[in-house]
């Protein structure tokens, strides 16, 4: 393919001089190109062919066993000033990055092909879409980028001869965790990633570009780049509403985005616009409109079944790449929580023999599927909408065994920003490190905000100050509250529609809430209960707001806020003080 963009050509030349690939391939994004990438990976053993009768066009990749999740301790923001990375990000100066990490790319692509992957984040027709180019020596990354983004010609056509694109440099390096770095240069819109071939570390369009770099662009340009799913609900009366929801990785964004209404709530329809990232821009009417910058799903596999998420399951039935799942003797993918019980023998995610009752799971807990959005039965046609969908409600949420009620509504945009800023959640297998530890994860952006989180909250507040803004209501949910028996109290999954339905009725102004110190909580009986088996005691537990527990939470919040010094916005401090007062 011939490239007309001189800036891109020059950059590719510089990089190939430094990394010394055997060959350079400019990706056009065509099917033929994808097919040949797949063939090469099948030959080299990077991919394994799954059962093509039942899973046509589906393949399995086993990553290096030491490279199975995002690595937050190796992820850095390389702003000129440390203060601009803020207290929640690792920081490295651009000079140190050049001295320490740039040498890791030297000759790194010897014996490999360099793939130049132009991609567009966002719909082809959208003025809000952005171009990036990822240069990588991993054919697995190139193939996954074709599923996850609009890749190749469409991006180059958008770029024209402009210099306005995010430059991502990626090499597998030697896959050693000691030489693994994921660096972001917000001022120059660059990303360097070395030493990992996995997901968010390597598919640079996703977290690195669409969140870390884009969050900085969004601040500069007056919009929001958020870790949020986007869904549409049509009510039995035919009214359509749109909701964005921010939950940390592996806390159910994909499941909520693909929700199937329970049989006891006929007439509702849920459609999926996105499952992970949302870019929100103001429309002429003062409302916030969301586009999904992605074109595919990189979803968690374990726990996915016809009970929990039939739409995700259907999405993976063709033209998908599975990473780190187990494989049956019939070459079917298998994982913990699958509809079918494990057969007597499996090949586990590391490629070893596995039998039921073994001391480790067959599929890695963070095993993933990469599937085109177009495969999803619930996909909305608005995935391609140029202006995006108008957002009626923003939902924050996390995994909290205790404390947070099933749902509450904030008092205002400023209070909603505080609710997002004080989010906390138990950690999951999506990142390396301990699982199940409660940590603060503001707006589910802790690992993804490309600048000082204090400035980020300030930016959220400034969105609320825009003259003429007609802002969505802001809610908080917790599907994960546990009873004294340690079990989840709320059934979750399809029944979460009942909570979304309550939100919509609040958006319409229905008197269905009672005021508490933390916000508006549903009045008893205001969440649709037909066909649901939740006892009165459980409702008490689900909707409880215990002031003493919240006072304790407030001291944790204060500890967290103290890290920000004078970067903590006045509006956030005001909300903190008002909450303290309401709690007594
Ligand atoms: O590995 S990814 O960052 O793409 C998935 C996630 O952690 O949300
Ligand atoms: Mn995510």
Give the burial class of 559: count Cβ atoms within 10 A of its Cβ; 0-12 exposed, 13-18 middle, 19 or more buried.
Answer: exposed
Taking CA atoms only, the protein residue closest to ligand 1 atom 1 is 200
Which of 196, 207, 210, 429 has most ligand 1 atoms within 8 Å of CB, for mutation?
207
Q: Which atom of ligand 1 is nearest to the CA of 431?
A: 7
- Vertex 126, ends 124 and 129: CA angle to 5°? 80
Is residue 555 domain-resident?
A: yes
The token pair at 52 is 């093509």
Nearest atom within ligand 1 for CA of residue 276: 8
Of 358, 375, 392, the position where a domain reaches its end is 375
CA nearest ligand 1 atom 8, residue: 249
Task: Give the tens place of pLDDT for each residue, 266-301.
Answer: 999 999 999 999 999 999 999 999 999 999 999 999
Indicate which ligand has the atom closest to the C-alpha of 254. 2
Q: Which residue among 193, 222, 251 closes a domain?
A: 222
Residue 104 in this model has a pLDDT that exceeds 90: yes
- Cα separation values, 151 from 118, 146, 168, 279, Å: 6, 5, 14, 19
| Statement to judge: residues 389 and 519 lie in one domain | yes
Q: Which CATH number belongs to the domain containing residue 310 in this structure? A: 2.170.8.10
CA 199 / ligand 1 centre spacing (Å): 6
Q: What is the CATH number of the domain that holds 72?
A: 3.40.449.10
Residue 1 located in a structural domain: no
Residue 477: domain span: 226-295+383-582
Residue 2: pLDDT over 80: no
Work out whether strand 278-282 and strand 224-226 pair parallel, antiparallel, or are unpaired. Answer: antiparallel
- With vertex at residue 383, the alpha carbon angle to CA 380 and CA 386, rounded to the nearest 5 degrees, is 130
Instruction: Decide if 56 is inside a domain.
Output: no
**Do 364 and 485 fall within a single domain?**
no
Residues 76 and 174 in one domain: yes
One domain for residues 336 and 449:
no
Q: Which ligand is nearest to the CA of 193?
A: 1
Q: What is the pLDDT of residue 551?
A: 97
Q: 320: helix, coil or strand? A: coil
* CA 21 to the chain's CA centroid: 32
CATH classification at residue 528? 3.90.228.20
Distance between Cα 374 and ligand 1 center (Å): 20
Q: Is residue 241 part of a domain?
A: yes
Q: Count the neighbouring beta carbons within 10 Å of the beta carbon of residue 548.
A: 9
Burial of 562 (0-12, 13-18, 19+ CB in 10 A): exposed
Structural tokens at position 169 = 């440099």
Length of the chain: 584
pLDDT per position as a tens digit, 154-163:
999 999 999 9
* Residue 354: inside a domain: yes
Total domains in the fold of the chain? 3
Do 192 and 331 lie in a common domain? no
At 4, is the pLDDT very low, low, confident or very high (cuts 50, 70, 90)? confident
- The residue whose CA has the least distance to atom 4 of ligand 1 is 200
- Give residue-wise pLDDT tens across range 539-562: 999 999 999 999 999 999 999 999
- Which of the listed residues 430, 435, 443, 448 should we mutate to test ligand 1's pocket, taking the one with most ligand atoms within 8 A of CB? 430
Res. 203: pLDDT tops 80: yes
**In this structure, are 305 and 400 located in the same domain?**
no
Residues assigned a catalytic role: 251
Which residues does a 6 A CB cutoff place in the pocket of ligand 1? Answer: 70, 199-200, 206-207, 249, 298, 430
Is the pLDDT at 1 greater than 90? The verdict is no
Q: Are residues 510 and 527 in the same domain?
A: yes
Q: Is residue 58 part of a domain?
A: no
Question: Are residue 152 and residue 134 in the same domain, yes or no?
Answer: yes
In three-state secondary structure terms, 404 is coil
Q: What is the mean pLDDT of residues 470-488?
A: 96
Backbone angles phi, psi at 337, to 5 degrees: 90, 5
Domain-embedded: residue 136 = yes
Q: What is the mean pLDDT of residues 107-111?
A: 98
Is 245 found in the same domain as 210?
no
pLDDT of 373: 98
Q: Is the pTM of this model over 0.95?
A: yes
Mark whether 284 and 303 lie in a shared domain.
no
Together in a domain, 244 and 321: no
Q: What is the pLDDT of residues 345-398, one digit of tens each?
A: 999 999 999 999 999 999 999 999 999 999 999 999 999 999 999 999 999 999
> Do 371 and 399 sit in the same domain of this protein?
no
Of 171, 199, 222, the one marking the end of a domain is 222
Residue 229 CA: which ligand is closest?
2
Residue 57 falls inside a structural domain: no
How much distance in Å is there from the Cα of 214 to the middle of ligand 2?
A: 14
């Amino acid at each position: 393919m011939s490239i007309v963009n001189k800036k891109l050509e020059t950059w590719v030349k510089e990089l190939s001089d430094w990394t010394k690939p055997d060959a350079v391939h400019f990706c056009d994004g065509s099917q033929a190109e994808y097919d040949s990438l797949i063939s090469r990976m099948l030959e080299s053993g990077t991919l394994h062919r799954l059962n093509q009768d039942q899973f046509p066009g589906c393949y399995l990749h086993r990553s290096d066993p030491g490279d199975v999740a995002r690595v937050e301790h190796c992820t850095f923001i390389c702003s000129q000033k440390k203060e601009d990375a803020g207290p929640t990000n690792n920081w490295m100066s651009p000079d140190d990055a050049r001295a320490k990490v740039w040498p890791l790319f030297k000759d790194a692509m010897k014996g490999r092909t360099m793939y130049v992957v132009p991609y567009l984040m966002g719909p082809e027709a959208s003025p809000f879409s952005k171009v990036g180019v990822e240069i990588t020596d991993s054919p697995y990354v190139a193939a996954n980028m074709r599923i996850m983004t609009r890749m190749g010609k469409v991006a180059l056509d958008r770029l024209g001869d402009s210099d306005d694109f995010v430059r991502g440099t990626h090499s597998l390096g030697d896959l050693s965790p000691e030489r693994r770095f994921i660096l972001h240069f917000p001022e120059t819109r660059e990303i360097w990633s070395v030493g990992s071939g996995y997901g968010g570390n390597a598919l640079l369009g996703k977290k690195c570009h669409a969140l870390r770099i884009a969050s900085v662009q969004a601040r500069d340009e007056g919009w929001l780049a958020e870790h949020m799913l986007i869904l549409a609900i049509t009510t039995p009366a035919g009214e359509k509403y749109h909701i964005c929801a921010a939950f940390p990785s592996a806390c159910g964004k994909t499941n909520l985005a693909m929700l199937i209404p329970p049989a006891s709530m006929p007439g509702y329809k849920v459609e999926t616009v996105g499952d992970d990232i949302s870019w929100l821009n103001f429309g002429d009417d003062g409302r916030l409109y969301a586009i999904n910058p992605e074109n595919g799903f990189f979803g968690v596999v374990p726990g996915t079944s016809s009970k929990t998420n039939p739409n995700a399951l259907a999405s993976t039935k063709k033209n998908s790449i599975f990473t780190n799942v187990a494989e049956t003797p019939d070459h079917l993918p298998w994982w913990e929580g699958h509809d079918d019980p494990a057969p007597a023998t499996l090949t586990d995610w590391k490629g070893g023999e596995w039998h039921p009752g073994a001391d480790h799971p067959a599929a890695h807990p963070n095993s993933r599927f990469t599937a085109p959005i177009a495969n999803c039965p619930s996909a909305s046609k608005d995935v391609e909408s140029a202006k995006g969908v108008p957002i009626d409600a923003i939902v924050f949420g996390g995994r909290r065994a205790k404390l947070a009620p099933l749902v509450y509504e904030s008092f205002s945009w400023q209070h909603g920003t505080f609710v997002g800023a004080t989010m906390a959640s138990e950690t999951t297998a999506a990142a390396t490190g301990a699982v199940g530890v409660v940590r603060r994860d503001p707006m589910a952006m802790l690992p993804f905000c490309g600048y000082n989180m204090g400035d980020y909250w300030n930016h959220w507040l400034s969105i609320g100050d825009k003259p003429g803004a007609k802002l969505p209501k802001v809610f908080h949910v917790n599907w994960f509250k546990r009873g004294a028996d340690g079990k989840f109290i709320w059934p979750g999954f399809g029944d979460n529609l009942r909570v979304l339905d309550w939100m919509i009725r609040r958006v319409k102004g229905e008197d269905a809430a009672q005021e508490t110190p933390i916000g508006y909580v549903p009045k008893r009986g205001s969440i649709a209960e037909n066909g649901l088996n939740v006892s009165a005691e459980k409702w008490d537990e689900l909707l409880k707001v215990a002031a003493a527990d919240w006072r304790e939470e407030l001291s944790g919040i204060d500890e967290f806020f103290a890290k920000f010094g004078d970067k903590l916005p006045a509006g956030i401090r005001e909300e903190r003080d008002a909450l303290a007062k309401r709690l007594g």
